[in-house]
Amino acid sequence: MTDAPVFPHFKQLELEDRESISEMLWAYQPETSELTFTNLFIWRKHYAVQWSLWRDTLLFLCTHADGSLFCLPPVGPSAGMEAVHLLLAWLREEKKQPQPCIVRADGRLAAELAASPDFIIEPQREHYDYVYATGDLVQLAGRKYHGKKNHVNKFRSDYNFAYEVLTAGHIEACLQLQDAWCDCNRCSEDMNLMGEWEAIREILGSCDRLSVQGGVIVIDGAVEAFTLGELLNKDTAVVHIEKANARIPGLYAVMNQQFCEHAWSGTAFVNREQDLGDEGLRQAKLSYHPVRLVEKFKIRLAEHS
């Protein structure tokens, strides 16, 4: 990888880094939604994402709004205990972080570190990803999906709609829909919503150069919902963004069902990311009956280490 930063030097994540980083992430076959280049790129301003290489391992350094630093889990064929200890010690000793941590680490890494007394490993339930069988989201079959199927059927009877693959011609309408959504939800008063709005602008503005697929729902000539996702690993797609006109009943359910049917029917599973501890969002995600949750963990150094 030419011109790659070498630890302890980091560089800001940029679109030109996509090919190299994506190749390493794909080789890892991640299960957590954070570990795609798209996700890292669209959130790079919100978290000031930087990256580096240590041996054959990717390292990611991020910054909270309060200026404190944290890392995402190291990724590579030999990423593990040595890389974690290196990062946490560097954060503590060189960057003077009083509570150095790696967040959103997957179960593979947590299992490798579990027997070591040098680390404290804590589950982060608000960051667990929800994974669904694609066929369930497409067919909405059986008693457990009865309510969802009714919402979709009522929408179909009430509206003359079309599903379309998201193209450059839809971008401006998607941006306008998101503007309207933010007006209704007072994004300007919530730093997380503002971060999401920035992420949506990034993904829409660069979707032709990212490995994403998107879809829109058009009603009476107007884009009323849009969504974007990509392959996370060979068996699983991940949905990064989904927005809809909340004044249209059943539209979110239809957007979800249509995107899975048209874009991901050849993929066994769909990861619809985390709930961030929002109780309403948690109940909404649980109502689709995930086949499993992808656990994530915070890793810290034990006091003696």
Alpha carbon separation from 290 to 139, 220, 240, 272 (Å, rounded): 14, 33, 17, 9
Instruction: List own/partner pairs for 238-242 with CB under 8 A and 24 or more apart.
Output: 238/33, 238/36, 238/39, 238/270, 238/271, 238/272, 238/273, 239/270, 239/271, 239/272, 239/273, 240/33, 240/36, 240/38, 240/39, 240/42, 240/199, 240/203, 240/212, 240/273, 241/199, 241/200, 241/203
pLDDT digits (tens, 9 = 90+) for 202-224: 999 999 999 999 999 999 999 99
Mean pLDDT of 177-198: 91
Please indicate, yes or no, whether residues 180 and 214 belong to a single structural domain of this protein: yes
Please indicate, yes or no, whether residues 133 and 254 belong to a single structural domain of this protein: yes
Quick one: pLDDT at residue 1? 56
Please indicate, yes or no, whether residues 18 and 149 belong to a single structural domain of this protein: no
Please indicate, yes or no, whether residues 144 and 40 belong to a single structural domain of this protein: no
Is residue 231 situated within a structural domain?
A: yes
Is residue 81 situated within a structural domain?
A: yes
Mean pLDDT of 123-139: 98
Please indicate, yes or no, whether residues 151 and 262 belong to a single structural domain of this protein: yes
Please indicate, yes or no, whether residues 104 and 193 belong to a single structural domain of this protein: no
User: Is the N-terminal amide bond of 8 cis, ω within 30° of 0?
Assistant: yes
Please indicate, yes or no, whether residues 268 and 134 belong to a single structural domain of this protein: yes
Is residue 1 situated within a structural domain?
A: no
Please indicate, yes or no, whether residues 25 and 102 belong to a single structural domain of this protein: yes
Is residue 110 situated within a structural domain?
A: yes
Domain carrying residue 177: 129-273
pLDDT bucket at 274, cuts 50 / 70 / 90: very high
Mean pLDDT of 233-247: 97
Please indicate, yes or no, whether residues 189 and 232 belong to a single structural domain of this protein: yes
pLDDT beyond 70 at 305: no
Is residue 3 situated within a structural domain?
A: no
Mean pLDDT of 60-68: 95
Please indicate, yes or no, whether residues 47 and 183 belong to a single structural domain of this protein: no
pLDDT bucket at 77, cuts 50 / 70 / 90: confident
Is residue 4 situated within a structural domain?
A: no
pLDDT bucket at 303, cuts 50 / 70 / 90: confident
Quick one: pLDDT at residue 44? 97
pLDDT bucket at 38, cuts 50 / 70 / 90: very high
Count the domains in the chain. 2
Q: What is the dihedral of CA 68, 104, 3, 195, to 10 degrees?
A: -60
Is residue 266 situated within a structural domain?
A: yes
Please indicate, yes or no, whether residues 202 and 112 belong to a single structural domain of this protein: no
pLDDT beyond 70 at 286: yes
pLDDT bucket at 2, cuts 50 / 70 / 90: low
CA triplet 111, 115, 116: central angle to 5 degrees? 110
Q: Average pLDDT over the chain, rounded to whole? A: 96
Is residue 284 situated within a structural domain?
A: no
Q: What is the CATH number of the domain that holds 201?
A: 3.40.630.30
Please indicate, yes or no, whether residues 48 and 28 belong to a single structural domain of this protein: yes
